[in-house]
C-alpha cells in the first residue's frame, strides 16, 4: 500500500494549473449564457446586456476553487491511504463502536419527545425521520439484501396509505385492524410486481419498477370513484389511544385521552403519541428484518445478490427467494403507508411521486447497502439537511445536493459499508490460517 | 468397461444446439458410481456445455441424462430445472470461474449450501423468528457440518473471512467445500485444478480419491491438467467438437490415435501457425 503511494508520481504545479485552467475554460463557456448575458426590460422591450465583471469573477472563482479543492481532496486521500496502511486494526475498533451507537440512537429516540415536549416542530420532524427510517428498512430488504434495484417502492407506500384511508372512511375500520390488511395487500402488490420481473436484473428491473410506481400513481389520479383522484381522500380518522381519542373534551361526549388520564387537553398529546407509534412500528420492523437476515431466508437473499447462478447450482429456488424479498419489502412499505395516512389525515397522489422513491432509495444507498444502522443515519441526514437548509431559502436544494456529493466522495460505499456476518465460527476452532 | 458395473450417470444420444452451432453432437457415455470420470478435450469441445446440460442450466435439444439416485430411483436430469437437480437429485457442481458469494464469509457460503435443510427446519422462518429449539439445533448442525468440511480442506482459519478476499486457489477449495456441504451423490467439478500450484494440485488429487473411495461420492471432472487427470481418473471420456472420440481407462485413452490427433493435430496438412 505504502509502496503504491510512493510509486505514484507527484502532481506538479504545472499540472494543477492546467487542470484548473480547463475548469475555468468550461466555466467560461457555461458562464456566457448563464451569467455573462442578461435580458433587461427597457421601456417594454427586452434588451440583452452583458455582465462582464460578474463573468470574470465567476471564471476566476472556478479556477481558484478547483485548485484548492483538488489539493485538499488529494491530501485527504493520501492521508487516508497512509492511515489504512499503518493501522488495519483500527477497523475492528470502529466496528465495536457501532453497537453502542445504535443503542444510543434508540435511547435518544425514546426520550426525545419528553425533552422537547413543548416543541411540536421537533417532534414532528422526528416523526418524519422515523417514517423514512421504516421505509428505508423495508426497502433495504429488496435493494440492500436481495440486490433487486427497486425504483417504484413508493407504490407500496401508496397502497398501504390508500388501503387505510378507504377502509377507515368507507367502512369505519380502525387503525389497528387496518394495519394487517394493508400490509397484506401491499405484500400482494409486491408479488404482483415481483412475478413478471423475476428474470430481470439491474437496470432492466429498475426500469420496470419505475414504471410500476408510476402506474400506481396514475391509477390513483384517474380512478376518481375509488381514490378521489387528484383531490385525494380527506378526514381520515386519526388513531386513538386504545379507543381513547385525542380530542378536546366535550360535555356529555365520550371519554377522551386527556380526560381519562386527568390531563389538560393539549394538541401536543397526539403528536407525541404518533411519534411513539411510528417508533414502535419502526423498531418492530428493525427487529423483524435483522432477525430475518440471520435466518436461511436472509442469507439466501444476500446470496442471490452476490451470485444468482451459484444459488441455483446449490439447490436454492431463486423464484421463491426473490418473491419473498419483494413481498416482505412491500409489506413493510405498506405498514409505513398506513401510519402516514393516519398521521396526515389527508392523502393525495402528490405524496407518492417518484422523488419519494428516489429519496428512500438514496437513504438505503447512502446508509450503505444492507446496513440497518446506516439507514437511520442516512434518514437523519436526508430529512434534517433540507430542514436545516430552510434558512438558506432558494439555495436549500443546492446545499443538499452538495452534501450528498461530498458524502459519496468521502464514503463511496455508503456511511456504513461494512457488512456484519450473520454467523461466526464457533470459538475454539480458530486454527492458524494456512494459505 | 464391464457391463455389470453400476453406473450413476447415463448420458444417451445427447444433443445441444445453439442456433446453427452444435455444441454437443449425439453424445453417449456412462459414469460409474463411486469413481472419478474425467471429461477431457481441447477448448470448445463442449465440456462445460455438457455440465450445463447435466445440472439443468441448459435444456438439451435431444437425448437423455439418467441419474441412478440411491433413494429416489432413476431421475431424468434433462427434465429438471437447475435448483431441483441440486436439491432433489443431489448433483452439485462448481464453476470454471469460481462463483462464491464474495461479500459473505466462507462459513456463510457453506451454510447457504445447506439452505433447503435449514429452511425446512425454520418452518418458513417462523421457527427461526421465534428462536425455537428445533431451528437452533438445525443451525448448529449446519455450522458443525460446515466446520468439519473446512477442517478437511484446511480452511478453518478462513471461516470468518469474506470469500472474495481469499486468494484464487483458496477460493476454488472453498467452492468445492460449499458443494460438498449440499450432500452431493455426484459432484461435477469444472477445472478445479486451474490456478492451483503443484502442492495444492496434489492435495486436490488426494481429496478427490478420498471422496470417492471413502465417502462414496461419484465425481465428474473437467480438467486440462493431465497430471491430475491421469493420476486420479478411473474412466476418461474424450470430446472434440461435441463428439466423443474416445473413452476408457487412462492408459487406453493416452494411446488412442484419435486423441493424439485431436490434441496434437495431424501431420500431413499444413498447420496454421499460431
**All cell numbers assigned to A372:** 440497518
Cα separation, A434 vs A77, in Å, equals 33
Q: Interior CA angle at A277 toward A194 and B129, to 5°?
A: 50
pLDDT tops 50 at residue A435: no
Report the percent of chain A where pLDDT is more than 90.
42
The residue ranking higher by pLDDT, B225 or B271, is B225
Q: What is the mean pLDDT of chain B?
A: 89
Asked if A185 and A333 touch (Cβ cutoff 8 Å), the reply is no
**All cell numbers assigned to A370:** 444492507
Show residues of chain A in contact with B161, CB under 8 Å. Answer: 433
Q: Which residues contact A167 (CB under 8 A, 6 or more apart)?
A: A173, A177, A178, A181, A182
Cα separation, A400 vs B109, in Å, equals 40
Cα separation, B221 vs B126, in Å, equals 40
Phi, psi of A326 (to 5 degrees): -60, -45
Asked if A296 and B128 touch (Cβ cutoff 8 Å), the reply is yes
Q: Cβ B107–A430 below 8 Å, yes or no?
A: no
Q: Cβ A419–B103 below 8 Å, yes or no?
A: yes
Cα nearest neighbour of A309 on chain B: B99
In chain B, which ranges are E strands? Answer: 7-18, 21-32, 36-40, 62-69, 73-76, 91-93, 186-190, 218-222, 235-240, 243-248
Question: What count of other Cβ atoms lies within 10 Å of the Cβ of residue B265?
Answer: 11
What was the pLDDT predicted at A3?
43
Question: What count of other Cβ atoms lies within 10 Å of the Cβ of residue A368?
Answer: 23
pLDDT tops 80 at residue A1: no
Cα separation, A28 vs A67, in Å, equals 16
Query: Chain B contact for A88, CB < 8 A?
Result: no
Asked if B45 and B242 touch (Cβ cutoff 8 Å), the reply is yes
Q: How far apart are the first and last CA of chain A?
A: 21
DSSP symbols for A53-98:
HHHHHHHHHHHHHHHHHHHHHHHHHHHHHHHHHH-TTHHHHHHHHH
Q: What is the mean pLDDT of chain A?
A: 85
Q: Which residues contact A44 (CB under 8 A, 6 or more apart)?
A: none
Question: What count of other Cβ atoms lies within 10 Å of the Cβ of residue B115?
Answer: 25
Query: Chain A contact for B15, CB < 8 A?
Result: no
**All cell numbers assigned to A73:** 481532496
Residues B1-23: what's their mean pLDDT? 82
What was the pLDDT predicted at A127?
92
CA B6 to chain CA centroid, nearest Å: 19
Q: Are residues A109 and A73 both part of a single domain? A: no
Query: Could you name the CATH architecture of B97-182?
Result: 3-Layer(aba) Sandwich (3.40)
Asked if A304 and A322 touch (Cβ cutoff 8 Å), the reply is yes
Taking only the tens place, the pLDDT of each residue in A59-82 is: 999 999 998 988 888 888 888 888
Q: How would residue A89 be classed by pLDDT, with cut points 50, 70 and 90?
A: low
Query: Chain B contact for A235, CB < 8 A?
Result: no
Q: Which residues contact A118 (CB under 8 A, 6 or more apart)?
A: A268
Which residue in the set B86, B102, B139 is minimally distant from A314, CB to CB? B86
pLDDT tops 80 at residue A118: no
Of A62-66, A132-136, A392-396, B112-116, the one with minimum mean pLDDT is A392-396
- Per 3-state DSSP, what percentage of chain B is helix, strand, and coil (rounded to 5)? 40, 25, 35
Show residues of chain A in contact with B159, CB under 8 Å. Answer: 424-425, 429
Show residues of chain A in contact with B112, CB under 8 Å. Answer: 299-300, 303, 311, 314, 316
Cell 439443468 locates to B56
Question: What count of other Cβ atoms lies within 10 Å of the Cβ of residue B55?
Answer: 25
Which residue in the set B83, B95, B162 is minimally distant from A317, CB to CB? B83
Residues B239-259: what's their mean pLDDT? 90
Q: Where does A140-237 have alpha helices with state H?
A: 154-171, 175-194, 202-222, 224-227
Cα separation, A211 vs B52, in Å, equals 35
Beta-strand relationship, A45-50 and A37-42? antiparallel
**All cell numbers assigned to A249:** 373534551
Q: How would residue A433 be classed by pLDDT, with cut points 50, 70 and 90?
A: very low
pLDDT tops 70 at residue B4: no
Q: Are residues A71 and A113 both part of a single domain? A: no
**All cell numbers assigned to A45:** 422591450
Long-range contacts from A214-223, C-beta under 8 angstroms, 24+ separation: A214/A152, A214/A354, A215/A155, A216/A152, A216/A155, A216/A158, A216/A159, A216/A189, A216/A352, A217/A154, A217/A155, A217/A158, A217/A349, A217/A352, A217/A353, A217/A354, A220/A158, A220/A162, A220/A349, A220/A352, A221/A349
Residues A101-110: what's their mean pLDDT? 87
Cell 427487529 locates to A287
Shortest CA distance to A155 belongs to which of A369, A375, A354, A359?
A354
What was the pLDDT predicted at A92?
55
pLDDT tops 50 at residue A115: yes
Query: Chain A contact for B197, CB < 8 A?
Result: no
Asked if B231 and B48 touch (Cβ cutoff 8 Å), the reply is no
Residue A117 burial (C-beta neighbours within 10 Å; 0-12, 13-18, 19+) = middle
Taking only the tens place, the pLDDT of each residue in A218-277 is: 999 999 888 888 888 988 888 877 777 777 666 556 677 777 777 777 777 888 889 999
Q: Interior CA angle at A227 toward A224 and A228, to 5°?
A: 55
pLDDT tops 60 at residue B169: yes
pLDDT tops 70 at residue B230: yes
Shortest CA distance to B38 belongs to which of B212, B230, B252, B256?
B230
Cα nearest neighbour of B115 on chain A: A296
The residue ranges of every structural domain in chain B are 1-90+183-269, 97-182
Q: Are residues A227 and A338 both part of a single domain? A: yes
Q: Cβ A315–B102 below 8 Å, yes or no?
A: no
Cα separation, A50 vs B126, in Å, equals 71
| Residue A158 to chain B, least CA–CA distance (Å) | 27
Q: Are residues A80 and A107 both part of a single domain? A: no
Q: Cβ B143–A423 below 8 Å, yes or no?
A: yes
pLDDT tops 70 at residue A214: yes
Q: State which residues form the domain around A77.
A: 8-84
pLDDT tops 50 at residue B1: no
Q: A242 in helix, strand or coil?
A: coil
What was the pLDDT predicted at A132?
95
Of A83-87, A224-228, B241-245, the one with minimum mean pLDDT is A83-87
| Residue B50 to chain A, least CA–CA distance (Å) | 15
Q: Measured between alpha carbons, how far is residue B122 from residues A142, A210, A295, B86, B202 in Å? A: 21, 34, 8, 20, 40
Report the percent of chain B where pLDDT is more than 90.
62
Phi, psi of A153 (to 5 degrees): -65, -30
Q: Is residue A358 part of a domain?
A: yes
Number of domains, chain A? 2
Q: Cβ B104–A307 below 8 Å, yes or no?
A: no
Q: Cβ B157–A434 below 8 Å, yes or no?
A: yes
Q: How would residue A431 be classed by pLDDT, with cut points 50, 70 and 90?
A: very low
Which of A147, A422, A425 best tests the B interface by mutation, with the highest count of B CBs <10 A? Answer: A425
pLDDT tops 80 at residue B133: yes
Q: Measured between alpha carbons, how far is residue A410 from residues A74, A370, A401 in Å? A: 12, 19, 14
**All cell numbers assigned to B264:** 496434437
What was the pLDDT predicted at B61?
93
Q: Is residue A219 part of a domain?
A: yes
Of A137-141, A259-263, B9-13, B19-23, the one with minimum mean pLDDT is A259-263
Q: Where does A264-371 have alpha helices with state H?
A: 268-293, 296-306, 308-313, 318-344, 354-367
Question: What count of other Cβ atoms lies within 10 Å of the Cβ of residue A182?
Answer: 30
Cα separation, B44 vs B243, in Å, equals 11
Q: Which residues contact B216 (CB under 8 A, 6 or more apart)?
A: B34
Q: Is residue A366 part of a domain?
A: yes
Query: Chain A contact for B211, CB < 8 A?
Result: no
Asked if A339 and A144 touch (Cβ cutoff 8 Å), the reply is no
Which residue in the set B81, B85, B115 is minimally distant from A300, CB to CB? B115
Q: Measured between alpha carbons, how far is residue B230 from residues A134, B46, B236 in Å? A: 60, 20, 9
Name the CATH code of domain B1-90+183-269 (choices 3.40.50.300, 2.40.50.840, 3.20.190.10, 3.40.50.12780): 3.40.50.300
Cα separation, B119 vs A296, in Å, equals 6
Q: Are residues A72 and A109 both part of a single domain? A: no
Q: Are residues A246 and A335 both part of a single domain? A: yes
Taking only the tens place, the pLDDT of each residue in A179-204 is: 999 999 999 999 998 898 888 877 89
Q: Is residue A224 part of a domain?
A: yes
CATH of the domain at A181: 1.10.3470
Q: Is residue A383 part of a domain?
A: yes
Of A54-68, A108-122, A126-140, B240-254, the one with minimum mean pLDDT is A108-122
Residues B142-164: what's their mean pLDDT? 92
Asked if A118 and A45 touch (Cβ cutoff 8 Å), the reply is no
Query: Chain B contact for A419, CB < 8 A?
Result: yes
Q: Is residue A431 part of a domain?
A: no
What was the pLDDT predicted at A87?
61
Which residue in the set B102, B113, B156 is minimally distant from A314, CB to CB? B113
Residues A37-66: what's their mean pLDDT? 88
Amino acid at each position: 500500500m505504502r509502496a503504491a503511494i510512493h510509486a505514484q508520481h507527484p502532481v506538479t504545479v504545472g499540472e494543477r494549473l492546467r487542470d484548473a485552467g480547463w475548469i475555468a475554460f468550461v466555466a467560461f463557456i457555461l458562464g456566457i449564457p448563464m451569467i455573462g448575458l442578461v435580458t433587461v426590460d427597457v421601456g417594454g422591450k427586452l434588451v440583452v446586456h452583458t455582465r462582464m465583471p460578474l463573468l470574470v469573477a465567476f471564471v476566476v472563482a472556478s479556477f481558484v476553487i478547483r485548485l484548492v479543492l483538488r489539493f485538499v481532496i488529494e491530501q485527504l486521500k493520501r492521508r487516508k491511504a497512509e492511515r489504512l496502511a499503518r493501522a488495519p486494526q483500527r477497523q475492528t475498533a470502529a466496528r465495536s463502536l457501532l453497537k453502542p451507537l445504535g443503542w444510543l440512537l434508540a435511547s435518544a429516540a425514546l426520550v426525545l419527545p419528553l425533552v422537547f415536549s413543548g416543541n411540536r416542530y421537533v417532534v414532528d420532524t422526528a416523526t418524519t425521520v422515523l417514517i423514512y427510517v421504516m421505509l428505508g428498512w423495508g426497502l433495504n430488504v429488496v435493494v440492500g439484501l436481495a440486490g433487486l434495484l427497486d425504483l417504484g417502492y413508493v407504490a407500496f407506500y401508496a397502497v398501504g396509505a390508500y388501503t387505510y384511508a378507504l377502509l377507515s372512511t368507507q367502512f369505519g375500520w380502525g387503525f389497528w385492524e387496518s394495519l394487517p390488511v394493508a400490509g397484506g395487500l401491499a405484500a400482494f402488490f409486491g408479488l404482483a410486481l415481483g412475478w413478471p420481473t423475476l428474470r430481470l436484473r439491474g437496470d432492466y428491473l429498475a426500469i420496470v419498477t419505475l414504471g410500476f410506481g408510476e402506474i400506481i400513481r396514475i391509477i390513483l389520479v384517474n380512478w376518481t370513484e375509488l381514490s378521489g383522484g387528484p383531490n385525494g381522500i380527506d378526514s381520515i380518522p386519526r388513531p386513538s389511544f386504545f379507543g381513547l381519542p385525542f380530542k378536546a373534551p366535550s360535555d356529555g361526549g365520550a371519554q377522551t385521552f386527556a380526560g381519562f388520564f386527568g390531563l389538560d387537553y393539549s394538541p401536543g398529546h397526539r403528536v407525541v403519541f404518533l411519534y411513539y407509534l411510528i417508533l414502535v412500528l419502526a423498531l418492530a420492523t428493525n427487529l423483524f428484518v435483522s432477525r430475518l437476515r440471520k435466518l436461511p431466508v436472509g442469507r439466501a437473499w444476500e446470496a442471490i445478490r452476490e451470485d444468482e447462478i451459484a444459488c441455483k447450482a446449490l439447490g436454492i429456488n431463486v423464484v421463491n427467494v426473490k418473491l419473498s424479498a419483494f413481498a416482505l419489502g412491500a409489506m413493510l412499505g405498506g405498514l409505513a403507508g398506513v401510519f402516514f395516512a393516519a398521521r396526515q389525515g389527508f392523502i393525495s397522489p402528490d405524496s407518492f411521486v417518484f422523488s419519494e422513491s428516489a429519496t428512500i432509495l438514496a437513504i438505503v444507498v447512502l446508509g450503505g447497502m444492507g446496513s440497518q444502522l446506516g439507514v437511520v443515519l442516512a434518514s437523519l441526514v436526508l430529512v434534517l439537511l433540507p430542514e436545516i437548509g430552510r434558512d438558506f431559502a432558494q439555495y436549500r436544494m443546492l446545499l443538499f445536493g452538495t452534501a450528498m456529493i461530498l458524502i459519496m466522495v468521502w464514503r463511496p460505499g455508503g456511511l456504513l459499508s461494512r457488512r456484519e456476518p450473520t454467523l461466526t465460527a464457533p470459538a475454539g476452532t480458530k486454527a492458524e490460517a494456512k494459505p | 468397461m464391464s457391463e455389470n458395473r453400476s453406473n450413476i450417470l447415463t448420458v444417451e444420444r445427447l444433443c445441444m444446439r445453439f442456433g446453427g452451432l452444435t455444441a454437443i453432437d449425439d453424445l453417449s457415455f456412462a459414469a460409474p458410481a463411486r469413481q472419478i470420470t474425467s471429461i477431457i478435450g481441447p477448448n470448445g469441445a463442449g465440456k462445460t456445455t455438457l455440465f450445463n446440460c447435466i445440472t439443468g442450466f441448459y435444456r438439451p435439444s435431444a437425448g437423455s441424462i439418467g441419474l441412478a439416485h440411491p433413494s429416489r430411483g432413476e431421475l431424468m436430469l434433462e427434465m429438471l430445472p437447475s435448483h431441483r437437480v441440486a436439491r432433489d437429485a443431489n448433483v452439485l457442481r462448481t464453476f470454471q470461474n469460481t462463483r462464491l458469494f464474495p461479500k459473505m464469509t466462507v462459513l456463510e457460503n457453506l451454510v447457504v449450501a445447506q439452505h433447503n435443510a435449514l429452511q425446512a427446519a425454520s418452518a418458513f422462518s417462523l421457527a427461526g423468528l421465534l428462536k425455537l429449539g428445533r431451528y437452533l439445533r438445525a443451525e448448529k448442525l449446519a455450522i458443525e457440518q460446515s466446520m468439519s468440511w473446512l477442517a478437511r480442506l484446511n480452511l478453518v482459519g478462513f471461516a470468518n473471512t469474506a470469500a472474495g478476499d481469499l486468494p484464487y486457489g483458496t477460493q476454488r477449495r472453498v467452492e468445492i467445500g460449499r458443494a460438498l456441504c449440499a450432500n452431493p451423490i455426484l459432484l461435477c467439478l469444472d477445472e478445479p485444478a486451474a490456478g492451483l500450484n503443484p502442492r495444492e494440485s496434489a492435495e486436490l488429487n488426494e481429496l478427490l480419491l478420498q471422496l470417492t473411495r471413502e465417502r462414496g461420492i461419484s465425481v465428474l471432472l473437467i480438467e486440462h491438467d493431465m497430471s491430475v487427470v491421469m493420476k486420479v481418473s478411473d474412466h476418461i471420456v474424450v470430446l472434440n467438437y461435441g463428439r466423443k472420440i474416445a473413452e476408457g481407462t487412462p492408459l487406453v485413452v493416452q494411446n488412442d490415435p484419435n486423441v493424439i490427433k485431436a490434441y496434437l493435430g495431424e501431420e500431413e496438412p499444413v498447420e496454421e501457425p499460431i
